Structure 1
Amino acid sequence: MHYRTDIEGLRALAVLLVIAYHYQFPGITGGFIGVDVFFVISGFVITQLLMRSMAQGTFSFADFYARRIRRLVPVFLLVSTASFLLISPYYLDDDYYVFSKSWLSSLVGVSNFYYFSELNQYFAPETQSLTLLHTWSLAVEEQFYLLWPLTLLLVWRCFRSWGGVRVFLFIVLLALLLSVYLAETAPKAAYYLLPARLFELLLGAGVALHASRLPVLQSWMAQIVATTGLVLIVATGLLLDNSDHFPGYNALWPTLGTALIIYAGLHQPGTWVARLLSLRWMVFLGGISYSLYLWHWPIVALLHYQLVELTWPIRLSMVAGVILLSWLSYRLVENPFRYTQWRLGKLLLLMVLAPAVLMWAVQVTIRLADDISFRIPEERRELYKIIEQNDDTDLYKACFKGPYYQFNTSAKCLFGVPAPQGEPNSILIGDSHAIALMGFVEELITGTDRSLLLVTQASTPFVLAEYAAAVFGDDSEKIDRSRALTEYLSKRPMTVFVSAYWDAYLASSTHHRSFVAAIGWLVEQGHDVIILEDVPKLPSSAHAHCLLKNMADCSIDIAPVRKRLANFERFKAEIRAGYPDVAWINPREVICDDARCQTVLNGIPLYRDADHLNNLGAREIARAYLQRFGNPLLERYSANP
């Protein structure tokens, strides 16, 4: 084993791709593959280190893990602490709490599991503003480091034979097929968890394990192999984008390219690719690449959160800033700690256990605090409370988070005029977008003879019981809700307000058919059907806090809004053609014109996240709607005496 400057250059290439992608440099649409280049390099380097110590009989688990802690943890503690101080004046309730949880999970090497779980929730946080999101890849490597030394030790003798080579290639192929399968069937799990990334680490490990068994390349062949490897890396960095399945087979090209460059350099270090990667500035950036990777993301995450546009001057300033920070942290923290002689017990105590306790204390403090708005300037606290403390899913919790089958029909979920014998003449059904419009509907039914029952549930739009399995799969709770509502609505005619996150569902032909069938059935049952159209989806949840961020213009471009409405407009046209008596109420008419859609109305922020109104915002839209168009319900129903 010897020091290879071309591998340092590969590290530089990897981190530059990642930075260019996250800083939105034009054309680098697949720069996220830099992480996969790192995985191959890690597999190669770690396996070489393990093989050397095992061959010399000096391998020690305690020494190996102590070296990993000294290498990875000190700079992480520095960057994460600085990030906490940086975001504290800006991040709000849940965003602040999410950071504290991710901080702890990153320290103990499970942030990939944390983000996989957190981002699969219905009200998932905005990924671009997750300050430590990039640590998921470090967690994947750390989990590999946990498993690989023992595995390698157990099969050490097998890897010395050609039989071992064949077995190893078979394992890599199985790992690749698993990655392809997971990328197709469980893309979030594939992206964040080790199983789908294992083949990448094993590719690097394989080059290290079988270096003496691989053919020695002649100079001309090494040039071809190295060039092919570099082309594969650069091409995927330029041609892939975040809409492609990944990792899977798309991750094979940059990782295979990395393995080819490492292989070519084993015996022919003079290829033009190796010379390019060994340029002094590339080696410098490769040397500080770990610090670069850690520092580059928290800054851009905060800018995303504050809705700051990444202009060229900002991009270039960030690049210069993170290089300087990374060099300083490398010189003052990373390198000095890397060569300390602290043993594993002391490292675990001082660098893992003690910081973990402190981070846990911060997390608990944030969670237990009923109101942390004291961090927000006093003149903006009322805006904060409108956004953060008017969540309909909390205000009407009994009507949203209760049983799926025996949904709540008590007075807690009855609105408008009193319902005779507890039997309302109206009902609002749908998912979280339906309950987010409850303030809007309440304003409309005020002054009418409507008594309204609210029945909503997350991700559970109304479909007939016979369609539920096709729409919801094996989710028995959502199927129960469909069955219960079908039974309830078959008893007597009512006014039925129907709402849903139309954009999210109607791209599916199954959902389209089931929604058309549900509206048709409601009409056939004698119900007076009123469909509530949805409000525009914002570019990010951070736009809901626009006023808190002192933005001069809180409006959004209408062009993406119209594009997302295409499927809904087809659905609307089909319903109008088949069921002309169905009524439509469109809140967008109040907040959108031909060019822009407003996220603030009369000084009141309307949203609480990227696609849900807050309760006061919904009511403000309703008041503006009534003033502009009158009350469409008074044309259909009697006024409340």
Structure 2
Amino acid sequence: MAEFSSRWKRYLKPVGGSVRPEIQALRALAVSLVVVYHLWPSGLSGGYVGVDVFFVISGFLITSHIVKEIDRGQFSLVSFYSRRARRLLPASLLVLSATLTATFVFVPKNLWEEFGHQITASALYVENWALASNAVDYSALASDASPVQHFWSLSVEEQFYLFWPLLLVTAAVLARRFSSNRRHLVIVIAAVSVASLAYSIVETRNDPSAAYFVTPTRVWELGIGGLLAFAVDRWKLPEFTRVPASWVGIAAIVYASYFYSSSTPFPGWQALIPVGGACVVIWAGTTHRRYGTSALFALRPIQAVGDVSYSLYLWHWPLIVILPFALGAELNQPMRIGIVLVSLVLAFVTRVYVELAFIRPHGADLEGRGRIRLKGVRVLVAVLAVMAVVAVPAAGMSAYASTQIASAETRMADILANPPACFGAAALVVGSVCSPTKDSEIVPSPILAETDDFAQKGPGLGCQISGAQTSARQCVFGDVNSKVRIALVGDSHAAQWQPALAEIAVENKWSLTTLVRSSCPYSSVLPTNANDNSGACVTWNRNVGVALAEGGFSLVIVSTLSDTHFQRQGDETNFEAATRGFSEAWGKLIESGTPVVAIRDNPLPTSAGIHDEPSCVASHSDPTQCDVSEAKALVADPQVPAVIDTPGSRLIDLTGAFCISKVCPAVIGDVLVYRNKQHITATYMSTLAPILEQKLRVAAPQLWAVSVAG
């Protein structure tokens, strides 16, 4: 045991003893911020800035190594690329292989197409571009989030490593033509960094989802690390400034991780704070003066976490995404803590038996066994072969799922063209004798569930905004010239009612306008959900208020996710704060002469222990095994008391359209009810139109009076 422990301690020492303690400490801080953010996002809403710290470190170290070799006349592109490959790819491809296997074993087929596509992109190190093209919100940790989504940052770094040495070599050649110093190198790096920062600021404002991932918006962070390499080499900070400078740098990073959130336009100029903090810490270096950071940085646990930070980053996110599928349950606190512990163990094992086996000279371990002698071109050829071993089966998985999706879409179109009796909510009509036949097909198929959403296809595409967007985007359905104008306002749980309301509008020749935004209820109280984009939500609410005041609407229909968290005043509960926020917002509309109808939120299967309804149905031959208890799934909705507190507002409760005899089925009338964790499929919503219209006739009879008068 003592020999084993000694071997691990020796393995975990920095290679060659050349790694600076402050850089290891920064790595430990960065990976800790990211892991905590992913597991407890509401507690550390800006933990994603840990990635920016990694970028600075990478730019600093890589530029230092390249410039030193250029100065000695020993730089070789093949050697550089092979070293980078040995350092990064073995561990990452191991994790990708394990993730691909776990996806095949635990993840339902309805997610194979997207997961396979993402794993392929990650193996080829273009994951950042894949996410940017899909307009993925990095802060939206949804049930279908890719288990390799975190590979976007590794993709940025690998792409940086491809072009950065070419840039520096070219600049060095030009510098030798005009002078013998490094001025031209600094000028080139500075120019590229400034251009990248400017582009980042503009793109973050214009397209925040894509800006978060694409390489041009991030190059400046690595470039600043490169400039720091020259600064550290030439100018040393005065000894008396190094202690406060180091603490200020740490404080800047911690500040950003705590006060930034998903509503912070990022990267843009806001990234300057964590990036600047990391630069200051590295520039300050280590000092043993009293009250300095050196004693903290030197702590063995911090150095150890810094040493395994790369592998820890690789392992933690696949566990977060896949574990709920494996266990069939939402992550709870013990499971989150368990993920941290398991990730640390896997990281240490990967560091010892994978990373160091390729990093050390000739790849020999400490006893001289297990030599891996691949060098130069042979390393690159081996890497490409291993990448193909991961990418090809992942692409095959995605292609297989794609053919299944195409087939399911064809069958669904045929069924919807001539729906059977008792289809969907029609099976709930009193007196019906509907029951699924033995060979009946569920519509939509679980493999199509996630995209069965009005905001993801057809005329509804783009109607539901998200991220940092704040405009009161209006999409109009039905008769645009109708005297009866209805507005549907709120978050995604309001948006999901569009298919039913649109059918009602078309039937009655009304106009339906949607003003909907992800994770943003229509309320006077600020939401605090992890993905709420709070600041943007406030602006959006204000803009929507103006649009409603100017729109001349006959009725405003609102709905929202029942367990949304809000900022509280004094000792009020979240439920009380939510009730107050709804009542105040609705009251202003009613005072202006616009009536309000609230639709009670649907039951939430996640509250009853079902991680993802479509995945559950896909995994069971009998969909009733995915049914949930109404008592557990029906979360108390603050809209109910808000209606009581707001004279002039009315409530529509359609719980009976989702739950039968105290049970909320996963499938009703051969129609899949939920498209993911908690949202209703557009198909089932469409079948609810007749039931919703009956309720609406009671809650807002004036609409029909206007129609008749018109």
CA RMSD for the aligned pairs?
5.2
The Cα shift of 1:556 comes to: 5.3
Partner Cα distance (2:180, 2:315) in 1: 38
Q: 1:327 to 1:261 in 2, by over 3 A?
A: same
Partner Cα distance (1:626, 1:600) in 2: 24
Q: 1:183 to 1:557 in 2, by over 3 A?
A: farther
Match of 2:400 among 357, 361, 365: 365
Quote the residue 1:607 is aligned against.
674
Amino acid at match of 2:65: L
The answer to whether the aligner puts 1:246 opposite 2:266 as a matched pair is yes
The answer to whether the aligner puts 1:208 opposite 2:224 as a matched pair is no
Q: 1:250 to 1:600 in 2, by over 3 A?
A: same
The Cα shift of 1:608 comes to: 1.7
The Cα shift of 1:111 comes to: 0.6
The Cα shift of 1:78 comes to: 1.7
How do 1:563-578 residues align onto structure 2 when only pairs under 5 Å count?
none
The DSSP-based 3-state class of the residue aligned with 2:74 is coil
The DSSP-based 3-state class of the residue aligned with 2:681 is coil
Quote the residue 1:189 is aligned against.
210
Quote the residue 2:510 is aligned against.
496
Quote the residue 1:448 is aligned against.
none
8 Å Cα contact 1:18/1:33 also seen in 2: yes
Amino acid at match of 2:272: L
Q: 1:393 to 1:175 in 2, by over 3 A?
A: closer
Q: 1:516 to 1:52 in 2, by over 3 A?
A: same
Amino acid at match of 1:188: S
8 Å Cα contact 1:434/1:499 also seen in 2: no
How do 1:454-469 residues align onto structure 2 when only pairs under 5 Å count?
none
The Cα shift of 1:511 comes to: 5.7
The Cα shift of 1:618 comes to: 5.1
Q: 1:386 to 1:229 in 2, by over 3 A?
A: same
The Cα shift of 1:624 comes to: 8.7
Quote the residue 1:555 is aligned against.
633
Q: 1:440 to 1:356 in 2, by over 3 A?
A: same
The Cα shift of 1:40 comes to: 0.5
Quote the residue 1:111 is aligned against.
127
The answer to whether the aligner puts 1:100 opposite 2:116 as a matched pair is yes
Amino acid at match of 1:357: V
Match of 1:72 among 85, 88, 97: 88
TM-score, normalising length: structure 1: 0.69
Quote the residue 1:273 is aligned against.
293
Which segment is superposed worse, 112-121 or 158-167?
Answer: 158-167
Quote the residue 2:558 is aligned against.
none
Partner Cα distance (2:461, 2:60) in 1: 52
Amino acid at match of 1:607: Y
The Cα shift of 1:79 comes to: 1.3
The Cα shift of 1:209 comes to: 2.6
Partner Cα distance (1:126, 1:629) in 2: 36
How do 1:412-451 residues align onto structure 2 when only pairs under 5 Å count?
438=499
8 Å Cα contact 1:544/1:607 also seen in 2: yes
Partner Cα distance (1:318, 1:521) in 2: 51
Quote the residue 1:418 is aligned against.
none
Quote the residue 1:16 is aligned against.
32
8 Å Cα contact 1:387/1:544 also seen in 2: no
Match of 2:687 among 594, 616, 619: 619
Q: C-alpha deviations, 1:53-108, integer Å up to 9, x for none?
A: 21222222222222222222222222122223323355345532111000011111
Quote the residue 2:390 is aligned against.
355
The answer to whether the aligner puts 1:328 opposite 2:352 as a matched pair is no
Percent sequence identity over aligned pairs:
25
8 Å Cα contact 1:12/1:289 also seen in 2: yes
Quote the residue 2:369 is aligned against.
none
The Cα shift of 1:358 comes to: 2.8
Which runs of no fewer than 5 residues in structure 2 stay unpaired? Answer: 1-15, 364-371, 409-437, 463-483, 523-539, 556-594, 618-625
Q: 1:434 to 1:279 in 2, by over 3 A?
A: closer
8 Å Cα contact 1:71/1:337 also seen in 2: yes
Amino acid at match of 1:343: G
8 Å Cα contact 1:219/1:271 also seen in 2: no
The DSSP-based 3-state class of the residue aligned with 1:29 is coil
Q: C-alpha deviations, 1:301-354, integer Å up to 9, x for none?
A: 235667845444223221111111111122222222333424334224422234
8 Å Cα contact 2:405/2:448 also seen in 1: no
Q: C-alpha deviations, 1:166-219, integer Å up to 9, x for none?
A: 6755654454343333333322122111222222111211111333322x2333
8 Å Cα contact 2:109/2:447 also seen in 1: no
The Cα shift of 1:361 comes to: 2.0
Q: 1:270 to 1:199 in 2, by over 3 A?
A: farther
Q: 1:381 to 1:265 in 2, by over 3 A?
A: farther
Partner Cα distance (1:40, 1:300) in 2: 26
Q: 1:396 to 1:356 in 2, by over 3 A?
A: closer
Aligned pairs, how many? 541
Q: 1:540 to 1:207 in 2, by over 3 A?
A: farther
Match of 1:233 among 243, 253, 262: 253
8 Å Cα contact 1:116/1:188 also seen in 2: yes
